[in-house]
Amino acid sequence: MGSRGQKRQEMVDELPADKRACSSFDFRPSSSTASVQTDINSTQSTVEPNDNDMDTSSSASASSRSEGEPEKDSAYGSCDSDEMEHYHSSLHEYHRRRLSSDHGKFKTIISSLSGQTEPSGQLAVLTELCEVLSFCTEGSLSSMTSDLLSPLLVKLAKHDSNPDIMLLSIRAITYICDLYPRSAGFLVRHDAVSALCQRLLTIEYQDVAEQCLQALEKISREQPLACLQAGAIMAVLNYIDFFSTSIQRVALSTVVNICKKLPSESPTPFMEAVPILCNLLLYEDRQLVENVATCLIKIVDRVSHSSEMLDELCKHGLIQQGLIGLLVKLSSGSVVAFRTLYELNVGSILREILSAFDLSHGVSTSQLVGGHCNRVYEVLKLLNELLPGLEKDQNNQLALDKESFLANHPDLLQKLGMDVFPMLIQVFNSGASLYVCHGCLFVMYKFVCLTKSGMLVELLKNASISSFLAGVFTRKDHHMLMLALQIAEIILQNFSDIFLKLFIKEGVFFAIEALLTPERSSQSVYPVFSGIQLSLDSGQRSASREVLKCLCYTFSTAQSPTSSEARNCKLDKDSVHHLAEDIKTKYLAPELYDSEKGLTDILKNLRALSNDLLSMSTDVSALVVHEEKINRVLDQIMDKLIGKEEVSTFEFIESGVAKALVNYLSLGHYMRKNKGVHGVCGHNAVIEKRFEALASVCLRTFQPLSGDTPLSVLIRNLLGALTSLEAFPIILSNVQKMRNSFATVPNGCCIPYPCLKVRFVKGEEETCLSECTEDFFTVDPFSSLHSIERYLWPKVSVERPESPPLQLPSNTSSSIEEIPAISEPAGMSTNLRETQGEESKSSKPRPDQAVNVNAGESSSGMQIAEEEMHFIAEPDSKLEREHPTSRSNKAADKLTFYLEEQPLDPKLTLYQAILHQIIKQNDSGFGAKLWSHVHTLTYRTALKSEDIMPLDCHSSSEGFSHDKVLAFYEQTPFLSDMFYCELVSDLEKSSPTYDILFLLKSLEGMNRFIFHLMSRERICAFAEGKADNLDSLKITVPTVQLNEFVSSKLTEKLEQQMRDSLAVCIGSMPLWCNELMASCPFLFSFEARCKYFKLAAFGQPRMPPNISSETVSDRRMSHGVLPRKKFLVYRDRILESAAQMMKLHASHKVVLEVEYDEEVGTGLGPTLEFYTLVCQELQKSGSGMWREDASSYTLKTNLQAEETGIHSFYGLFPRPWLSTQDTSGGIQFSEVTNRFFLLGQVVAKALQDGRVLDLHFSKAFYKLILGKELCLYDIHSLDPELGRVLHEFQALVNRKFCLESVYEGKSELEQGLSFRDSRIEDLCLDFTLPGYPDIVLASGSDHTMVNMRNLEDYVSLIVDATVKSGISRQVEAFKSGFNQVFSIEHLQIFYEEELERILCGEDDSWAVNELADHIKFDHGYTASSPPIVNLLEIIRDFDHGQRRAFLQFVTGTPRLPPGGLASLNPKLTIVRKHCSNQADTDLPSVMTCANYLKLPPYSSKEKMKEKLLYAITEGQGSFHLS
């Protein structure tokens, strides 16, 4: 099979007929009896979401919706009032006759059933009854009829000899309950429930039993108590395993109905159901498990007052199921539960919950309770119950029994502490809410009080309690301060000899002293107080309900306190001060009060060294004199940091090491307020030298024990200091459900979140502007101030144009009446009409376009209304796409806005600008006020841009202007990134947090460019004669892994912020999130940055209410519920199809799915294969796109293909083309740029749709994608041989300059400038680009052959052609294509290696020993089935090419998504293929849309391998149905 599109005729019968077709037939639900299906539909309330892309081929309705087809008109036309009256009259008469007829039929049926004794006659009457009931309306069945039918049907339901009579009579009972719910009372009176239960307890016929369950479910809705007393719970649960999942759900619905109304007395009838319910918790069906959990919670609630009953529940195995909410109630009232939880080692389970939960993954806002997360809070409540109360109450036998148990089993308490104590500290430090933090501290306090002495010391030391308490003392809340002081007091009471020094070292005593005399600590670097989490409620009601609740009631077991009680704090006002004074008096010796005597030796030494470094590094005039001394001081500082005695966070911060290093690296310019860092550019050479010196010190040796470099230790200290110092606020809305609102400004559209109310007021003494007459406007909170200005300018400018410059698109709503339940100012409708012009009077938009968020985003005419209703784009990027020149044209600078006389940054969204001011004012009660308050914005005429614009803080080549081109190529690129951008605008440059951030950014840049720095250092050494051998230029440098720079605290803060219901775009988050992500992305984990990227680039998709965010694959989170668009492609014209697809749909937010011409399959598999085929076409040899040099080789596109593609071990990199070159080897350059443009579109669209690409770009090309400059040292990463030679040539050039400054004679120069014992001239190099003889670098008499005089020019020209101008047009074409889909700048938060993973997934990362863990075996196979064992062994033995072919066969792409096989969604599933003939003659087949492999049960491993290899090599090329 040379081509997958054409099969040889003789193989057609043997090849897998269902090769990867995904058809509706494959996923049609199995049919059962009509009665069951009918009733399931009526009882089932939750609709299960489809599994991602599995049913894409059968989603015709979804596709048609995404096409925007209008709904069909109603069947009824318009009619006048006479006709309508006549119609209603006729309809009323019809219903009257119908009811009369039904009553007559029921009388006849009742009469027949009463007198009929023959089974055949009874069967006929019952059939007629069921037919009548199925077509009846609600009014057809009266109370009397139900009462008369009930005893007859119950009697027939007991008819043992005829199953058909039983089935029909029970079905009639079901229909009656459905039509007339009150009839359940008549049925109960006539013993129907007992009869149905009897049928379920002695099952003879499956369909009869299923019908019984349907009937009981109906009856239990109205008569739950009667069902309970008749034993219905056990009846429906007894044989539940025999039924299908849908019927099991019906059975559990019955139990739920009963459990919701459990009586307070005689609980015995439901207690025996507990073991069965516990077993059902292990089932896979989510809806079933949720119903079981509901039942168990209701049962425990009912018996929670009785310790005996709770003990009984524990004996039934309820403890082992681990439902935390149940365990809390059980352990609070049952000693058996309390004891059992300890014996079952519950601590290890709780530890896993807390560590896996991480406070930053998978929690929806609906789980917020009182401002904290429900799941963590439940764990804390359970721990609180597992630790008895500290108040001794002799009358409380339960508490005494618990204390007695722990006293007799101290080992169990210690085990719980060892498991949970460190996790509580981690949760506390993760930026959790006040309630969770207080709960953690309270549980820790109980541990410290209850644990015996010897065990407690080990526990506290392992948990680094001193460092933790020092951090707690920076909090503002007096509840937490009190608990921290109590913990410290107990520790000092019992172990002062052990912890006294630690408390001094970690700054605990300093913090306690600061509580008493804050004025003394104001000069210290170490923080006294830190920021807290702010709550941003969207309504006053919620604010009064939650924010005012006192922390004293965190673990209140009684009913929720009233509002007056919740405001009353149980702590005395001065209790914190008194306890701190008491601790100071008892344990703090007077000599420790002295700031110098109270310092540790290591702190004194580090502070002295820091002061020395600071004084020397800022003396620019004596840089050379101090260089050796400075290096010696650096060595000593690093020695202290990696010494035997660990440096605490307090010591590190107080020593001033960070500030000293920052000023050392920036030559002291960092501290100068006027010059800022712009004075640095004159000293680039010195700064690079200092970075080289610091790199040498930081990477010189490994620690003998841990293997860490000094750089790793320094980074850890800096991150610890950042955790203690930073106080970036978390702003959470705590809104469970967002409501739509209408924003007049800037676009007049409906938005799915609240509006801000804004009053615009003209500034005083403004003569060129007019007053804004409207009272106030509703403004989209996430619109930029630029867009607000564009809206306002036509209204307030004196020379108002006839028509405003910003016209609203035609598909926005034109009337307020279409948006219900929104109170708007009276002037809004006027504003809308004014803005929209006269068109709105003549043409009204369609109703389905009323909710349009991204109004006017696309002008191509392919707008899809459904897309806009479900998707919220990032406002700033949206506005820039609408108005590309908005940031630069004059209109953008016409107005300046002020809030409370403070100017607002025009780059911010309105929400961020207001929030920025609120945080500055430290207003804790601003939550409700933000949305209800009318904000007054003052507008004034903007000053000229040069008066207000800051200096350009971005890197530019002009900042490093040198005479020689090569000097520019040599400069270290990361310097410009560091010194020319602001990290966080909220922070003062003098802030210690800013020092830490700046130093971390410097070290991260140094780590990434360590090869550049050390190469420069070696070249300089060679030039100065310190090294004579060119081989000394070869270096291998150790680097620190990127994840070592990640701040877990900041990552978790960002995760919480993105999880908030208001996080619909990055403009809805506090400013520090955006600024830190732009300047220091390395501080955040890769996973957090992926989420941020999707939010920034694509906005937040609105999930349907029945699908939680946890159920959606992370890979496909980017398109959420976006509409899908099918596109027909041709296998023989793949690139043309791709170009046409991108031309039509690149700029639209639709998920593209591929359908091949004359093939059946569609969906995920064919789409992934299409992207793979496009990638293979774009990698073909001879296309003129990519370098094809010694490091490249050709690779078959798949195992059987004849055509080959370029594959380089170092990755693809653009082939150089001179700016004057239009053709080369018959290839037109215009065709090359067109292909790069298409490649950019394909890569961006694949990212947007969550598709995996089969590409392997070089690290250097990824740097270009990320907008970074390349230089001489980057050539090494794409062509090591060329890079090495250019490196050596550059060393000779530098040596020549050094020698020329020393010697004047030519002979001495030539003697020291040989290239590996040869003259440069003897190499016979001409001025053509190596490997590309048609590219002439320079011409003229001076540039014919390379010699020592023009070697510098030769190197610079090669560098320019290879990584600069020779590839710039191709790279620009790629970026232009990419920007058609979304802005490529959004990728700049990633690094090169990460970008490879995001775009291309995992090329060869399946752990052989984990294969079975990530594969599902179903429909005839288990993990131990012999064919499965053989298959796994075969897959383990595959080479790289065979693995790629196998993945291509099964999934449609030869690569796995990020995360490997474990992240594949849907999960790879292997099922038994039923063969018509012998299994050995059949081939495996797959459905790629479901990652579904159908494997025949081959007789041997050898036969399986033969058929599998044949299928994956020959069975590709088209999609057909099974």
**Cβ proximity of 1061 and 738 under 8 Å:** yes
Residue 955 structure tokens: 């890197």
Q: Which residue has the tokens 């710039």?
A: 1368
Residue 782 structure tokens: 């996430």
Distance of CA 721 to the CA centre of its chain: 27
User: Rounded CA gap, 1468 and 1475, in Å?
Assistant: 21
Q: Which amino acid is at 938?
A: T
* Residue 1435 exposed, middle or buried by CB count within 10 Å (0-12, 13-18, 19+): middle
* Residue 922 exposed, middle or buried by CB count within 10 Å (0-12, 13-18, 19+): exposed
* E-state strands within 250-304: none
**Cβ proximity of 1264 and 1270 under 8 Å:** yes
Catalytic pick among 259, 750, 1020, 1489: 1489
Query: How many C-beta atoms lie closer than 10 Å to residue 1232's C-beta?
Result: 21
Distance of CA 468 to the CA centre of its chain: 29
User: Rounded CA gap, 1161 and 748, in Å?
Assistant: 43
Q: Which amino acid is at 729?
A: P
Examine residue 49 and say whether the peptide bond preceding it is cis (omega within 30 degrees of 0): no
Distance of CA 262 to the CA centre of its chain: 42
The phi, psi pair for 1389, rounded to 5°, reads -85, 0
Query: How many C-beta atoms lie closer than 10 Å to residue 61's C-beta?
Result: 8
Helices (H), 779-856: 785-796, 828-836, 839-842
Torsion of the alpha carbons at 427, 430, 436 and 437, rounded to the nearest 10: 90
- Residues 6 or more apart in contact with residue 89 via CB below 8 angstroms: none
Residue 1505 structure tokens: 């391998």
Examine residue 1466 and say whether the peptide bond preceding it is cis (omega within 30 degrees of 0): yes
Question: What angle, 0 to 180 degrees and rounded to 10, lies between the N-to-C axes of helices 910-921 and 1071-1079?
Answer: 100
Residue 925 structure tokens: 């009660």
Question: What angle, 0 to 180 degrees and rounded to 10, lies between the N-to-C axes of helices 324-333 and 335-343?
Answer: 120
**Cβ proximity of 11 and 1 under 8 Å:** yes
Q: What is the DSSP letter of 47?
A: P
User: Rounded CA gap, 186 and 189, in Å?
Assistant: 5
* Residue 679 exposed, middle or buried by CB count within 10 Å (0-12, 13-18, 19+): middle
Largest CA distance in the chain: 134
User: Rounded CA gap, 386 and 406, in Å?
Assistant: 10
Q: Which residue has the tokens 């593209």?
A: 1152
**Cβ proximity of 1041 and 1309 under 8 Å:** no
Residue 1214 structure tokens: 């653009």
Residue 119 structure tokens: 């089974």
Active site residue 1489: yes
- What separation in angstroms does the CA of 333 have from each of 245, 277, 307, 900? 35, 21, 5, 56
Query: How many C-beta atoms lie closer than 10 Å to residue 204's C-beta?
Result: 10
CA-wise closest residue to 757 among 687, 827, 685: 827
Residue 357 structure tokens: 């939960």
Query: How many C-beta atoms lie closer than 10 Å to residue 1468's C-beta?
Result: 22
Catalytic residue annotation: 1489
